[in-house]
Amino acid sequence: MATFKVSLLDYGAGNVRSVRNAILACGYEIEDITDPAQISQAKAIVFPGVGSYGSAMKVLKEKGFDKPLREYLSGSDRPYLGICLGMQTLFESSDEHEEGANAIPGLGVIPGKVIKFDERKMDVPHIGWNGRILHKESPVLKYVSPEESTYFVHSYYAPITEENRECILTSTTYSGQSFISSVQRGSVVATQFHPEKSGKTGLHVIKGFLEAVENGTLNKTSKLDFDPIAETKLAKRIVVALDVRTNDHGDLVVTKGDQYDVRENQKEGVVDGRGGVRNLGKPVSLAARYYEEGADEIAFLNITSFREGVVEDMPMLQVLEQASKSIFVPLTVGGGIRSYTDPKSGQTWSALEVAARYFRAGADKISIGSDAVHATESLIAQNGKKSGESSIEVISRVYGAQAVVISIDPKRVYAASKDGVDKKHFVVALDDGSSGPNGEKYCWYQCTVKGGREAKDICAVTVAKSVQHLGAGEIMLNCIDMDGQGNGFDLPLMRAVSNAVSIPVIASSGAGNEDHFVEVFSETGVQAALAAGMFHRKEVAIQSCKSAMRKNKIEARNVCS
Ligand code: 1PR
């Protein structure tokens, strides 16, 4: 039985619901810090930093938390767990900061300055499951084996320096760049990775920290000889998507289409002369199954969102609230992230408000589909000048680029040659052995909105580049032609887009067996691959995809039991 409550420093900037749920899952109660005076009384503070460094420091100052927090941390003898930005703010300063007179220094517990990953050398942000090289033994890592990876998502990192070397608990490498992945100085602990999103491994980190607080052993660390040339590897992620909608009986179900058509082919349960909506299960229980089976990430897509009007009615909010209680890997939610005007009340919700509701309900990332195509059209109309007003820009400014995924829904437009296709479209040669109905050997990928219902005169490569420019952090790249076919991912599309952008790309649509994962990771630059139908129908297990990846020397995340 826990003898103290965990003091949670939630300054209202993002999804701290999962941190709450993770602490609760470890058997501890939480007390929110709402008054600066609570800080000096706390037994253990958990600070899950979300957003940007500058805004975090600014909000701490505005709320009056800054000074008591500096005092709490000054002797490094009071228990503290900082997460992600909560680690970065422990350093002296960061490049992710307004320069000049408005600059607010960091908390200064750990020497050094936080800097940005070099976009010329690697995809930025660093998103996904990566390992850790141990520099010190600590009770915090008592239940965690070095083979288990943890989940990272960040564009800035803390470099290893002579001055901070003795505070390093673990380091990690990303595309050859070493950085500090956790620190401990006395009883002050912080992780760059997200324990609350790192599955059971992450829960074990939180448990290790809280137990050590409980029994007074937190500062009992011992230095280790570590291998300075050791490297860790970022795993290629397997994402499971759950397309969610209400069926003809009014139940919220996970469905799955063939080329985005989610109705049964046979004419029983006829609706408008067609079959009923396919029902493959309930969203929360199916997602929980995938968590247990080792999915690295789960995406819920509200596929009828183009019809819905009222934010309060969005069923996905409840789905996320429930799912985030027991699922501790990243959750993405998509469908309907745009501004709405309620036709009945006339009330308008901005895209930022809609996204904020989802983040508060437990989403780590939101995914924008149709609105990203509209934003690209506006960007082109303005000759590449950003308005600062698009949903992508606004949400990414407040929640960070890593929280903004763009879902692209293109379909192939075949061409006999490159000539004759409008120069503004990026034409690819079909080097995957496929061809058009008349033997065409080229195609471009035409973007659609409203779940494939409306085609736009704009290609997937253009949208991908534009959304990166607007501040998106990741691309979920579907292909309507391949969706539900089980014939493999659209490799020419995956290659074209992953070569065109420096943000991570998630390949989607068409997976039918383990080899398709090996193929897309070996032959294109995507960082993650998503499947739906084959997992829902239990045709292929997530772990057998990972085994096939490992056999082919593709890094896959180990799941601890
Ligand atoms: O436009 O911002 O409201 O977002 C709508 C979101 O809903 C987009 O992410 C869009 O992709 C999705 N969506 C809309 N209609 C459908 C549909 O199927 N009728 N689903 C739909 C798209 C794509 C993947 C699918 C993969 C893998 N589904 O989620 O799961 O293709 O399937 P497979 O492995 O079975 O081949 P907005």
* Residue 415 in domain: no
pLDDT above 70: residue 66: yes
pLDDT above 80: residue 311: no
- Residues 108 and 45 placed together within one structural domain of the fold: yes
> Is the previous residue joined to 125 through a cis bond, with omega within 30 degrees of 0?
yes
Contacts with 266 (C-beta within 8 Å, 6 or more apart), sequence order: 275
pLDDT band at 308 (very low <50, low <70, confident <90, very high): low
Q: Give the per-residue pLDDT at 472.
A: 96
CB 276 within 8 A of CB 264: yes
Domain containing 61 equals: 6-223
Residue list, ligand 1 pocket, CB within 6 Å: 241, 243, 256-257, 260, 262, 301, 303, 305-306, 334-337, 367-371, 407, 409, 451, 478, 483-484, 508-511, 530-533
Convert the pLDDT of each residue in 9-47 to its tens digit: 987 666 688 899 999 999 999 999 999 999 999 999 999
Contacts with 289 (C-beta within 8 Å, 6 or more apart), sequence order: none
Give me 474's structure tokens: 């990741």
- Residues 196 and 252 placed together within one structural domain of the fold: no
Give me 57's structure tokens: 């420091």
Nearest CA to ligand 1 atom 27: 509
Domain CATH code at residue 245: 3.20.20.70
Which residue from 303, 463, 490 has its CB within 8 A of the most atoms of ligand 1, so it is best to mutate?
Answer: 303
Q: Give the per-residue pLDDT at 501.
A: 96
Q: Give the per-residue pLDDT at 557.
A: 95
Looking at per-residue pLDDT, the higher value among 558 and 265 belongs to 558
pLDDT band at 547 (very low <50, low <70, confident <90, very high): very high
Domain CATH code at residue 40: 3.40.50.880
Number of independent structural domains in the chain: 2
CA of 131 from ligand 1 middle (Å) equals: 31
For the chain, percent of residues with pLDDT exceeding 70:
95
Give me 22's structure tokens: 């993770």
The last residue of one of the domains, among 165, 198, 223, is: 223
Mean per-residue pLDDT for 184-213? 97
* Residue 428 in domain: no
Nearest atom in ligand 1 to 511's CA = 34
Cβ of 257: how many Cβ atoms within 10 Å?
19
CA of 334 from ligand 1 middle (Å) equals: 9
Q: Quick one: the chain helix, strand, coil %, rounded to 5?
A: 30, 25, 45
- Residues 173 and 201 placed together within one structural domain of the fold: yes
Which one, of 210, 201, 151, 225, lies nearest residue 181 by Cα? 151
- Residues 218 and 242 placed together within one structural domain of the fold: no
Question: Mean pLDDT over all residues of the chain?
Answer: 92
Lowest average pLDDT, out of 262-276, 308-322, 416-430, 460-474, goes to 262-276
CB 370 within 8 A of CB 306: yes
Q: Give the per-residue pLDDT at 310.
A: 59
- Residues 82 and 104 placed together within one structural domain of the fold: yes
> Is the previous residue joined to 139 through a cis bond, with omega within 30 degrees of 0?
no
Kindly list the catalytic residues. 84, 194, 196, 243, 409
Q: Give the per-residue pLDDT at 100.
A: 55
pLDDT above 70: residue 433: yes
Convert the pLDDT of each residue in 207-231 to its tens digit: 999 999 999 999 999 988 877 778 9
The string of DSSP letters for 305-373 reads TTT---GGG-HHHHHHHHHHHH--S-EEEES--S-EE-TTT--EE-HHHHHHHHHHHT-SEEEESHHHH
Alpha-carbon distance 368 to 392, whole Å? 8
End-to-end, the C-alpha distance of the chain in Å comes to 23
- Residues 271 and 209 placed together within one structural domain of the fold: no
The last residue of one of the domains, among 195, 223, 251, is: 223
- Residues 304 and 210 placed together within one structural domain of the fold: no
Beta pairing, strands 156-157 & 126-130 = unpaired
Q: Give the per-residue pLDDT at 187.
A: 98
Longest C-alpha distance within the chain, in Å? 75
3-state secondary structure of 289: helix
- Residues 463 and 345 placed together within one structural domain of the fold: yes
The last residue of one of the domains, among 161, 192, 223, is: 223
- Residues 255 and 216 placed together within one structural domain of the fold: no
pLDDT band at 193 (very low <50, low <70, confident <90, very high): very high
